[in-house]
Structure 1
Amino acid sequence: MRRSRVDRRSRTTLPSRVRKAPGIRPGEDDLGWEIRGTHVIARRATESEAEQDPALLPFLRLLEHDVAAHPDRLRTMPEDLRQRLLTVTGGLDVDLDETIEGAVAL
């Protein structure tokens, strides 16, 4: 395990091997922080991650925790709703990896 000390102003220096593993460039890259209970995961953040809605990841974590804690609450989609969705979207060519441009209303 690599270690570094946190100073009185909550700063630390990333050891060289820690910076080099994910390709972190000092003065150029941002770090992304993820909290999982008492563990903190730091990684090089991509530009798109830096621009994401700050509420999205906490909301997804909440859902993940809720599903894990209460799997009995999960329900299948009613067949009539599934059929209606297939009818409404039938024939549409969808690229799930395509970038969404502009505002999205849900």
Structure 2
Amino acid sequence: MTALAKDVSKLTDWYQTTVPASVRKQLKLGKGDQIRYCTEPSGRVYIERVRSDEDYPVLGAFLDYVEADIKAHPDRIRAFDGALHGRLAALVGNVDVNLDAPLSLEDE
């Protein structure tokens, strides 16, 4: 089992704090990013990076469409079979994609 990181930060007089570097790295936070605090009834608090709809404007609409379609037609849901996996793999070949890498200037 992986050990939990136990970083500590201090509250200022204005109840502000600095997010420890290891947490910023883990959550891939940058200047201006937002974080969300999730509190359990037990008192345990989690933080997570907020991904705004501006980051993925089309993705939200697409996921809403998929959700509505699944609810309207649950009988259309099928298991993902190996043949489809093979066809998809053939489309992309051995292309290595890093979704976290920044776009080059020519790709922006």
Superposition TM-score tier, normalisation by shorter sequence: 0.3 to 0.5
